[in-house]
Amino acid sequence: MTLKLIPVFIVVPFLLAIAIALCKNMARNIEKLIPLAGTAALFIFSLLSINSAFQALVYPIAGFAPPSGSPLVFDSLSVVFLLAINTVTFAVTLYSWHYVDSYGGGWKFFALLMLLLCGLNGVVLSGDVFTMYLFLELTSVAAYVLVAFGNRDIQLEAALRYLVLGAIASTCILLGIWLLFSYTGTFNIAEMSRSLQTFGASTLTRAALMLFIAGFGLKAALVPFHAWLPDAHTAAPAPVSAMLSGLVIKTLGLYALARILFNVIGLSEQAVAVLMLLALLSILAGSLLALKQTDMKRMLAYSSISQIGFIVMGLAIASPLGIVGALFHLLNHALSKSTLFLNAGAVEHATGTRDYAMLGGLKEKMPVTANTSMLASMSIAGVPPLAGFWSKLIIIIACVQAGYVNLAIFLAFASILTIAYMVNLQRRVFFGALKASLQETKEAPLSMACAMVFLAVTSIAAIALMFPTCSEALFANAQKVLSFGVNYAYVIVNAAGK
């Protein structure tokens, strides 16, 4: 990975979006071919950017060096997110090839998807809080429109709720940024962190911290702030639900929160206590509400809330092991939950319903969907030897090591709840006797099946990450970025000086 190539992740999706809009009438299916080729290239590129050396590359935009300019920062933590983002987006683009035909206006869908990708990559790569906010806003706007894409009444309602709560979240985040900017006089993450260390913590930074937790908590749908998520995930087209649940809530919520909390303000005891409380509430409420759902996608949406809780718990423990567990679980959840949302889309595409009561015995009619769904749900439920088991185990061990034994027991209990609702999904939809109304059901079209198999294979490949060599290559340095805390600023400043 060389310095000059960093902007590719942001520029390419943006150009793809423009290319789609310009070329849409030139050839048949061209609006699908362009994003597919582009995201495939970005996926391979993100694989190549994995680097086992600990390094932070600072790319000065327009040649302005950090204190005055706003740089792009590429480090080991960005790599983990870039990998998840570009893998899932490639699969989703492939899946949408046949799926969007039922909606019409396909080129708009793909152009918006590319803008979403541009925003996500931008959030992960920006080295200054204001640029991060702008990319966050770009992602959010693309997501609002994509949720409303079908233009049916429930989709418009879900988009309205998402937009209003998203606007409140943006205001909270901006107020936090404003407080920090008035205090330090800079937007650059490294500079900001250094001035905060010089001036020391004050009521002002604590106020900013609360605003950030509320704002990013809303974006990540942690429990008191989760009202928009089940509606938006249920109403959106299936590929968009997969993007929202797999990537958007993680990048906009968790990545941005972790970056600002760990590297700018610095972790305090109060912040850890608040995060743990939010994580506990999310895990408990998410799991219990998921148990009683009868709509496939709504169940998966509540399950996302509870899994986000696991990730936040790992981050809040803040020991190296806890952070590795959180990042590992984040990657697993991105891969498996997107697979499950794509499966739900395939079932809806084939049968016209997502309701448990109308479904049953689809295993013989839709073998690809059933098997990939089985694999992904077992991974999320934490059945060994799948990757989800190892990531949850690491988080639980980190809890015990940090002295929270009660918490570890609670987490183990919560993963049993996860198994319960995932098994319920499998039993009601894919197993049992085939319903008479479903006799004519056909397997999903080729592109959808390929995308589901691709994601299932990557979630099997993620098992390799429990072995020390692979785990160190991806997570060891990413963990250092967060556990260096505010001292990480000096790594960036040194890298920028080169």
Residues that bind another protein (CB under 8 A): 130, 134, 137, 141, 144-145, 148, 151, 153-154, 156-161, 163-164, 167-168, 170-171, 174-175, 178, 181-182, 185, 187, 231, 235, 298
**Smallest separation (angstroms) from another protein to the CB of 174:** 5
Nearer to another protein, 170 or 401 (CB): 170
Q: Tell me 276's DSSP state.
A: H
C-beta of residue 382 within 8 angstroms of C-beta of residue 418: yes
Nearer to another protein, 30 or 174 (CB): 174
Any residues with CB less than 8 A from the CB of 300 and at least 6 apart, and which?
233, 241, 245, 290, 337, 340, 341, 344
**Smallest separation (angstroms) from another protein to the CB of 3:** 25
**Smallest separation (angstroms) from another protein to the CB of 154:** 5
Nearer to another protein, 136 or 375 (CB): 136
Nearer to another protein, 220 or 235 (CB): 235
| CA gap 143, 241 in Å, rounded | 10
C-beta of residue 290 within 8 angstroms of C-beta of residue 223: no
Half-sphere exposure of 440 (CA within 13 A, CB side): 4
Q: What is the DSSP string of 167-207?
A: HHHHHHHHHHHHHHHHHHS--BHHHHHHHHHHH---HHHHH
Which tokens hold the place of 71?
Answer: 């740089």
**Smallest separation (angstroms) from another protein to the CB of 217:** 17
**Smallest separation (angstroms) from another protein to the CB of 189:** 15
Nearer to another protein, 180 or 278 (CB): 180
Nearer to another protein, 171 or 437 (CB): 171
**Smallest separation (angstroms) from another protein to the CB of 185:** 7
**Smallest separation (angstroms) from another protein to the CB of 119:** 12
**Smallest separation (angstroms) from another protein to the CB of 227:** 8
Nearer to another protein, 55 or 151 (CB): 151
**Smallest separation (angstroms) from another protein to the CB of 143:** 10
Nearer to another protein, 162 or 310 (CB): 162
**Smallest separation (angstroms) from another protein to the CB of 378:** 28
C-beta of residue 282 within 8 angstroms of C-beta of residue 312: yes
Nearer to another protein, 248 or 395 (CB): 248
C-beta of residue 115 within 8 angstroms of C-beta of residue 135: no
C-beta of residue 306 within 8 angstroms of C-beta of residue 290: yes
Nearer to another protein, 155 or 307 (CB): 155
Give bridge partners of residue 188 from the DSSP assignment: 128
Q: Tell me 104's DSSP state.
A: S
| CA gap 286, 210 in Å, rounded | 23
Any residues with CB less than 8 A from the CB of 330 and at least 6 apart, and which?
80, 84, 250, 254, 311
Name the packing angle between helices 320-351 and 446-461 (round to 10°): 160
**Smallest separation (angstroms) from another protein to the CB of 213:** 18
Nearer to another protein, 160 or 207 (CB): 160
Nearer to another protein, 6 or 301 (CB): 301
C-beta of residue 146 within 8 angstroms of C-beta of residue 111: no
Give bridge partners of residue 57 from the DSSP assignment: 74
CA 228, 281, 475, 391 torsion-angle sign: negative
Over its C-alpha atoms, the chain yields an Rg (Å, rounded) of: 21
Cis bond leading into 385, ω under 30°?
yes
Q: Tell me 74's DSSP state.
A: E
**Smallest separation (angstroms) from another protein to the CB of 151:** 7
Q: How far is CA 53 from the centre of its chain?
A: 25
**Pairing between β-strand 71-74 and β-strand 57-60 as defined by DSSP bridges:** antiparallel
Q: 63: helix, coil or strand?
A: helix
Q: 468: helix, coil or strand?
A: helix
